[in-house]
Amino acid sequence: MERDSHPRRLRLARSVSIAALAVAAFAAPIAVASPAAAHSDLIATSPESDTTDQPSVVEVLPEEVSLTFSDDLTPPLPEEQQAGGESTTQIRVFDETCEDAGLLIADPGHADTRKCTNYATGEATVDGPTVSTAVDTAGAPAGQYTVVWQVVYEDGHAASQMFTFTTESAAPEATPTAGPSGDPSAEPTAEPTSAAEPSDAPADESDGISTPVILSIVGGIIVLAIVVFIVMMIARSRRS
């Protein structure tokens, strides 16, 4: 009995080793594939998002809204390649009067935002892991805002969600640029022109003797010369 125990232990150890190698060979591809299959996570927003414990409050609606993820995002497709002319990368900003803003995520088929004001302007832009959009703040009211976003991760997976924040004060209205007179509606006056260059035009008559006067003087001299010539000729004829 003692003689058979040693080979039996060897066979048991060999079987355990083979099983361990098989488990390792099976688990290795899964371990490699798992990080590749994981999607990026939203790690920060600006303004900060409301939480269940702490509301996010800012003074007025900011001029930019941005979101940062744990990994790089895919830039938006060119407009001509967007399905239905709608980009897969978007940030929309609605005030609290837009009752269906939340439905764009919860129930998109029943969301009606046609009468809502979207304060985001232009196309959303991607810079590595950050997506942002400019915001038209003119006249934006105080209250809660809902930011609805959608992005595409580098692995091609699309995601969309929303967050909220609150502003304490209304943003000022856009101020028209005033004209020189102080009237905002007045058109700016033309810049004063530079001094005129000297020209070859005749000088004004008040600056010297006029042409008719000069002609009269010359004519008088000629007539006087003729009279003197005639008198001299008469005097010579008499002496002869």
pLDDT in tens, 40-89: 899 999 999 999 999 999 999 999 999 999 999 999 877 766 666 678 89
Confidence at residue 233, expressed as pLDDT on a 0 to 100 scale: 74
pLDDT of residue 188: 55
pLDDT for 6 equals 58
Q: Report H helices in 38-95.
A: none
Residues 233 and 151 in one domain: no
Give every strand in the sheet of 130-135, ordered side by side.
42-46, 64-69, 130-135, 120-127
CATH code of the domain covering residue 152: 2.60.40.1220
Assess contact for 90 and 150: CB atoms under 8 A.
yes
Q: Distance between CA atoms of 24 and 104, rounded to whole angstroms?
A: 45
113 with 219, same domain: the answer is no
pLDDT at 116: 96
Locate all alpha helices (DSSP H) within 100-184, ordered by sequence. Answer: 103-106
The model's confidence at residue 186, banded by pLDDT at 50, 70 and 90, is low
Percent of the chain with pLDDT over 90: 46
Confirm whether 122 is domain-assigned: yes
51 and 153 co-located in one domain:
yes
- What local confidence, expressed as pLDDT, does residue 189 receive? 54
19 lies in some domain: no
Residue 149 belongs to some domain of the structure: yes
Average pLDDT, whole number, for the chain? 77
Domain that holds residue 217: 212-239
Looking at the predicted structure, is the pLDDT value of residue 34 above 70? no
Upstream peptide bond of 129 is cis (omega within 30 degrees of 0): no
- Residue 133: Cβ-neighbour burial (10 angstroms; 0-12, 13-18, 19+): buried
Q: Is residue 195 domain-resident?
A: no
Q: Is the pLDDT of residue 37 over 60?
A: no
Residues 46 and 156 in one domain: yes
Same domain, 140 and 73: yes
Which residue would you say has higher pLDDT here, 125 or 219? 125
